[in-house]
Structure 1
Amino acid sequence: MRGIQITEFGGPEVLTLHDDLPEPATDGLVRVAVTSAGVNFADTHQAEDSYLAPQTLPLVPGAEVVGRTDDGRRVVALLAGGGGYAEVAAAHPSVVFDLPDAVDDATALALVLQGTTAWHLLRTSARLAAGESVVVHAAAGGVGTIAVQLARTFGAGRVIATASTPEKRQLALDLGADVAVDVSGLDDAAAVRDALREANGGRGVDVVLEMTGGPVFDGSLAALAPFGRVAVFGMAGRVPPAPVQVPSLMARSTSVVGFWLVHVLRRHGGLRPAMEELLALAASGGLRAVAGGDYPLAEAARAHRDIRSRGTVGKLVLRV
């Protein structure tokens, strides 16, 4: 089968197209003939072996696919350990979901990993309550575009988006954010704190969804209102934040919550509750995925370069 394989860790240059890769073993798994595969920022960490889970070479990257099962069902599937950037993938039955006709490939790919991440960040980790303010960093990205919409659907009182360009900020506003600000050029935590509080009418914020790291995390933590929560799901800037001081959390009754979707898969029900709600919202028009660009399978390296440049929006898709 055709697929992208990594035989050494590194940047986008290590993604190489092969025409004769063996199909994955499917014992106890669902074989999917792949039509489209999703590209996520986490894939770039997988390629350089800086992901939360250690990677083993050789490696076919990619965590999500849309395609057909051997019995003809059109499905979206989440993959354990990669394998998405290829013509055939194998997925556990618990993470294979039948798709309504109204949900296209790009939307399905956006929902199964980034959508469920946004859903659980708000519902499970941050435990958003009606009326609370929510900051969504990188609001024009794959998780961010969905999180902005879900925060509004889930009853947030004020949705504050951050994005680095006027076009990205306008997209966040179009998706339902109340205000959109740029914190990307601020290298001081106090400046990030002040920008977020100003966007919230001078008040501390209740919930922050954070995946940048460095001063953006530090400033977000400082911007919290009493009982505020920062839910952390990435470190795209590849710059670690300052160590969190427990006394400072106690002083304002704030909290920092880490999130990794892997742990949801180990819970009873797994992704199914989130996927059922997300697919229903998408099919009814209550949630839309933002298409960020289609790439041929052979141009996976270009997709990685584009997503690492932070110049993309929404969902990137490889057409297999």
Structure 2
Amino acid sequence: MRAIQITEFGGPEVLTVADLPDPAAGPGHLLIDVSRAGVNYADTHQAENSYLSESTLPMVPGGEVVGTTPDGRRVVALVGTGGYAEKAVAPEALAWDVPDAIDDLTALGMIVQGASAWVLLRRSVHLEPGESVVVHASAGGVGTIAVQLAKAWGAGRVIATASSERKRQLALDLGADVAIDAGVPDLTRALIDANEGRRVDTVLEMTGGTVTDQSLRALAPFGRLAFYGMASRKEPSPVRPATLMSHSTTISGMWLAHVFQLPGNVMRRALDELFALAADGGIRVVAGGEYGLTEVRRAHEDLRARRTTGKLVLDPSR
């Protein structure tokens, strides 16, 4: 089969097309003919070995696929690694049947980005109806879904941030009440002004650096910030517990992998709700671009340069 293989860590330049043996599915696993593979920002960290879980070489990157099993099931699955290929193997417990009404793009957009937005709003910040929500990187895969979910679940005001006018307009089109540039000199004041002069209740943050610092300062008493990425690759300032107490604020972290340690099959609940909303037209996955397998370097370059919006996918047939 054709696949993308990494034999040394680094940037997009280490992603190389290779002919590799077909994988074999052992007990408790499914072999999947991949119709599309998802591309996530985490994949850029995986390629340079800067992700939360350590990578080993040689490696076929890519953590999510949609396709068909030998017995004809159409599934979307989390594979950890091995997704950038014509065939992939997934644990049966991490593969979910895709309803007929859900296309490949939507299936891939929901399994990581959609589920992340669901968990962030439901479990990390515990959004209450009427509360304000700041969605940073609102034109990205998680951000586009989070804006729509926050509105669907009764947020009082959704404040989106994005780096360009085009991205900010996308956030408004998806239902955000206001969209601002996170790169302004005084982001704290800009967020408060965007919330009509009030401090904000919740923040979904994956940028890091000063964006995190200034967002924390914009929180209202009992405000919550959920941190789920660091796209800038810059650490925020350390936070003293006494500072949290003095403002009654909460910081949480979220890594989707931990969802599978929770009782009650949280991932299945999230996907059922997301697929139902998508089938009814309540939310949609924004197509961020489809790349051939041979174009994977450009996909990573576009992601790292923040040129993309929505969900990126790879077509392994080209």
Once the two structures are TM-superposed, the CA of residue 141 in structure 1 deviates from its matched residue by: 0.3
Where 2:232 maps in the other structure, the secondary structure is coil
Partners of 1:254 and 1:270 in 2: CA distance: 26
Q: State the TM-score, normalized to the length of structure 2.
A: 0.97
Q: Is the 8 A contact 2:22 2:87 kept in 1?
A: no
Aligned to 2:243: 248
4+ residue segments displaced more than 4 Å: none
Aligned to 2:18: 18
Per-residue Cα deviation, 1:162-212 (whole angstroms, up to 9, x for no partner):
0011110110001010000001254xxxx1111111100111100000000
Aligned to 2:87: 88
Q: Does residue 1:224 correspond to 2:210, yes or no?
A: no
Where 2:277 maps in the other structure, the secondary structure is helix
Once the two structures are TM-superposed, the CA of residue 88 in structure 1 deviates from its matched residue by: 1.1
CA RMSD of aligned residues (A): 1.0
Where 1:279 maps in the other structure, the secondary structure is helix
Partners of 2:271 and 2:242 in 1: CA distance: 38
Where 1:144 maps in the other structure, the secondary structure is helix
Once the two structures are TM-superposed, the CA of residue 18 in structure 1 deviates from its matched residue by: 0.5
Aligned to 2:255: 260
Once the two structures are TM-superposed, the CA of residue 247 in structure 1 deviates from its matched residue by: 1.2
Per-residue Cα deviation, 1:189-246 (whole angstroms, up to 9, x for no partner):
xx11111111001111000000000000000000000000000000000010000111
Where 1:176 maps in the other structure, the secondary structure is coil
Letter in 1 for 2:136: H
Letter in 1 for 2:122: R
Once the two structures are TM-superposed, the CA of residue 24 in structure 1 deviates from its matched residue by: 4.7
Aligned to 1:308: 304
Letter in 2 for 1:231: A
Q: Which 10-residue stretch deviates more, 18-27 or 204-213? A: 18-27
Q: Give unpaired runs (5+ residues) of structure 1.
A: none
Once the two structures are TM-superposed, the CA of residue 270 in structure 1 deviates from its matched residue by: 4.1
Per-residue Cα deviation, 1:278-313 (whole angstroms, up to 9, x for no partner):
011111111100000000011111100001000100
Where 1:103 maps in the other structure, the secondary structure is coil
Once the two structures are TM-superposed, the CA of residue 87 in structure 1 deviates from its matched residue by: 1.0
Letter in 2 for 1:197: I
Q: Is the 8 A contact 1:60 1:85 kept in 2?
A: yes
Aligned to 1:293: 289
Q: Is the 8 A contact 2:37 2:83 kept in 1?
A: yes
Q: Does residue 1:55 correspond to 2:51, yes or no?
A: no
Q: Is the 8 A contact 1:24 1:88 kept in 2?
A: no
Task: Report sequence identity in percent.
Answer: 62
Where 2:224 maps in the other structure, the secondary structure is strand
Q: Is the 8 A contact 1:94 1:270 kept in 2?
A: no
Letter in 2 for 1:235: M
Partners of 1:223 and 1:97 in 2: CA distance: 39
Aligned to 2:138: 139
Aligned to 1:37: 37
Aligned to 1:152: 151
Aligned to 1:234: 229
Partners of 1:22 and 1:273 in 2: CA distance: 33
Q: Does residue 1:278 correspond to 2:281, yes or no?
A: no
- What does 1:68-79 align with in structure 2 at a 5 Å threshold? 68-79=68-79
Once the two structures are TM-superposed, the CA of residue 117 in structure 1 deviates from its matched residue by: 0.3
Where 1:271 maps in the other structure, the secondary structure is helix
Matched residue pairs, number? 315
Partners of 1:307 and 1:185 in 2: CA distance: 22
Aligned to 1:117: 116
Q: Is the 8 A contact 1:3 1:21 kept in 2?
A: no
Aligned to 2:106: 107
Letter in 1 for 2:87: V
Change (3 A) 1:270 1:58: farther
Where 2:190 maps in the other structure, the secondary structure is helix
Aligned to 1:194: 189
Per-residue Cα deviation, 1:43-73 (whole angstroms, up to 9, x for no partner):
0000000000111111111111010011101
Partners of 2:100 and 2:119 in 1: CA distance: 25
Letter in 1 for 2:283: L
Change (3 A) 1:298 1:14: same
Once the two structures are TM-superposed, the CA of residue 74 in structure 1 deviates from its matched residue by: 1.2
